[in-house]
Structure 1
Amino acid sequence: MSFTFQDFPVADDDLRSDVLAGLSACPKAIPPKYFYDERGCRLFEAICAQPEYALCRTERALMASRLPDIAAAVGPVDCIVEPGAGECSKVRLLLDALHPTHLVVLDIAGAPLAAAAQALVHAYPGLAVTALGMDFIRDLEAAAPCLPPGRRLIYYPGSSIGNFPPEAATALLARFRQLAGADGQLLIGFDLKKDPLLLHAAYNDAAGITAAFNLNLLERLNRELGADFNPSCFRHYAFYNPVAGRIEMHLVSLAEQDVNVAGQRFHFALGETLHTEHSYKFRCDEFSALAQTAGWALKAEWAHGGFAVQLYG
């Protein structure tokens, strides 16, 4: 049993430059990866427990019920690689079924990832675990030297691929193809298109957890960039755009206001939005066409309750 943690911290300059560029753009936008400070991670886990947000429960049910079929289709693997692993809970089913010798997990929130990954070492004797605290969207290729030889499975659950516009999603899938190696595979989960009312409710939960998650981004900018956002002057706003096939999440300015961020001043008009996230939804054939463009070949797929998992080689 072994555990290795390597941190590739997100530099303050990266946060600063991304935020200043996003606030200077029209429309204003900030990359969703910056949701995930310590409080943001806790709030996201709470979102997954809300009754309106069925995505995580549906995915778990699908994986558990079809696990023998999934394991048979994947076959023997030496290493599972999970980008965006978070609390490392989803990969446990695959560890139980596939028995790899190595697990490599990546996440932008390095400290929580290290704690979760270390717990896996004790739960799975004989498993070598490597945790990489990194912004894998930026630094994915830096993970390659940390991977052991052998057959790899890239595991990307949770419909995280939906946070990327189609061109960016295709580019990330192509980078996964390179990281997997010639005989590597990709097991990926994504949310399916469904009743817009269900999708709207999922991102506007009655308890207000998603709203708190969205507004927490402003608190992070206040703390880390010396900004002076007043979160009470912004409102969480999320809706499903059926033409684009995506949830759009925004923070709407409730007043004419100026905000100072990292020494620069930005004006928000009444009703102007700060775009914080897209969450694309797919048909199975739409997603497989996108993955094929990135160099993957569809091997198998499973769908249940408005969610799908596909295996590529």
Structure 2
Amino acid sequence: MSIKDVAREAGVSIGTVSNVLNRPEAVSADRRRRVLQVIDDLGYVRNDVARQLKAGRSRTVGLVVQDSANPFYNEIALGAETAAEKLGQAVIMGNAGQSPDRENLYLDLFEEQRVRGVLVTPQTPERSRIETLRARGIPVVLVDEHAPPSRYCSLAVDDVEGGRMAVEHLLAGGARRIAFVGGPATLHQVVDRHAGAEQAVAQVPGASLEVVPTDALTVLEGRRAGAAMLSRPAARRPEAVFAANDLLGLGLLQAFVFTHSLRVPEDVALIGYDDIDFATSAVVPLSSIRQPSRLMGRTAVELLEDEVADPEHRHRHVSFPPELVVRESTRLPT
């Protein structure tokens, strides 16, 4: 069915049908109801690709996240969807799975679909594919990323401050032998959180920070790191652990508690990062550094829309403060 069929059946012009679909306020209520009824009866679905080519802009926003298995990125997506819906737009999410090649695959697909713009959490510092999108007129906002405002709009939490805050909390609880668990080191989030942890330790005489690298930011990697710690003599185990994200923290918690080898926080204090919902429902509720994930998603869409709509748009970076959330995994009984 075409728009001509709808117009003929409803006894109106093609322009009236177009207005009903795109500018319904320009059509009287009676005529709008008649056209919508014909659309429903005929099963008409408009060709959005053709509409995009004519209008020059899609109503679809592409989102590429680092790892959709991490609830933090799903929360960002929910925030983006909320903001896009208010603008009459939709968000399509692609999961890069921590793979630069897979990220580029989604960027290629979104370009082919002529999306309105792209939100992306980059896997590496390499930006050639993103630069190509921008050169072809597709705006890009970098999410969970610090970028020079002269080149991109971007937004992120201050991860150096968040890492410092997490370890200062562990130090305030009396811990001096602290382990930082996280990786891979190619992720700037891991690098920045580790840098903040080092800053905090440097301020306390006698404190030390051991780095326990992981291949990914997952529960399984956390369990592996926890099992490695348990294999050591008690005197060589850390007194507290800062996990680079909550998934690692939950894996560490499982390794410690499910084997009944270590009590948390009595034998080892444990703090994560992101404050995902699972942190509150763990067998020992996990302390964490909160990131305003839904607000980040909403802000990303707002930055993108401003770039699309405003010819005088100037790129900017939005930095969000981290927040310490204290739960039982670091709270010793009084």
Structure number with larger C-alpha Rg: 2
TM-score w.r.t. the length of structure 2 is 0.31
Considering fraction of residues, name the structure with more strand. 1
| Greater relative contact order structure (CA < 8 Å, 6+ sep) | 1
